[in-house]
Amino acid sequence: MRADARRNHDRLVGEARRSFAEHGTDASLEDIARRAGVGIGTLYRHFPNRDALMNAVFQDALRSLLDRSRELAAAEAPCRALVEWLGAIVTHAGEYRGLAHALMSASRDGTSALVQCHLPLREAGAGLLSRAQESGSVRADVSIDDLLQLTNAIALAAEESPDDPELADRLLRLTLRGLK
């Protein structure tokens, strides 16, 4: 990428991160481009659609979640490690209004650019779930796809109830009791 194109890309990602945090993932792409000092055509040359821009914005958080899954992979209490990691996903999804819904949709849409976020998370979670199942602390019929959908649903419920900051933790604990 040319230096000016790299600068435009970086400004767009930075402005999208700020806009998504402030206005949610449905923030105006035109406003993001304007605030980044470029035209909407430049935004679309770098990111052909909203999901591609969201994917670029969430790469740092994705790396953090994947790093955390590797740290937890050897934990002495596999079920607790899985719960901690799922809680981290709920926390991340809660940082941007609309992210939980987008991730839920991406899990069913193999063409979405957000699949680049979903697939590595799915793989990381599958390893943690497998360890928890092998230890006997999680039922064998639980799938990582179900867990990720439940986790995103919990984040979505918490997003819809901002006056109850403990809701996500309560729902996650309640859900996980059913896994044992």
Q: Which two tokens stand for residue 43?
A: 């935004």
149-177 pLDDT, tens digit per residue, is 899 889 989 988 989 989 998 998 888 78
70-88 pLDDT, tens digit per residue, is 999 999 999 999 999 999 9
Q: Is the pLDDT of residue 19 over 70?
A: yes
pLDDT of residue 23: 92
Q: What confidence tier does 107 reach under pLDDT thresholds 50, 70, 90? A: low
Contact partners, residue 29, CB within 8 Å, separation at least 6: 40, 43, 50, 53
pTM of the model: 0.81
Q: Give phi and psi for 55, each to the nearest 5.
A: -55, -45
Q: Where are the alpha helices (DSSP H) in the chain?
A: 3-23, 29-36, 40-46, 50-57, 59-72, 78-93, 99-106, 115-134, 144-160, 167-177
Q: Is the pLDDT of residue 128 over 70?
A: yes
Task: Give the percent of the chain with pLDDT over 90.
Answer: 58
* Angstrom distance (rounded) from CA 115 to CA 17: 19
Q: Is the pLDDT of residue 105 over 80?
A: no
Residue found under tokens 């999901």: 51
59-68 pLDDT, tens digit per residue, is 888 899 999 9
Q: Which of 41-55, 58-72, 108-122, 124-138 is the least confident region?
A: 108-122
* Angstrom distance (rounded) from CA 103 to CA 15: 21
Say how many C-beta atoms besides its own lie within 10 A of residue 123's C-beta.
Answer: 12
pLDDT of residue 98: 82
Q: What is the mean pLDDT of residues 33-40?
A: 97
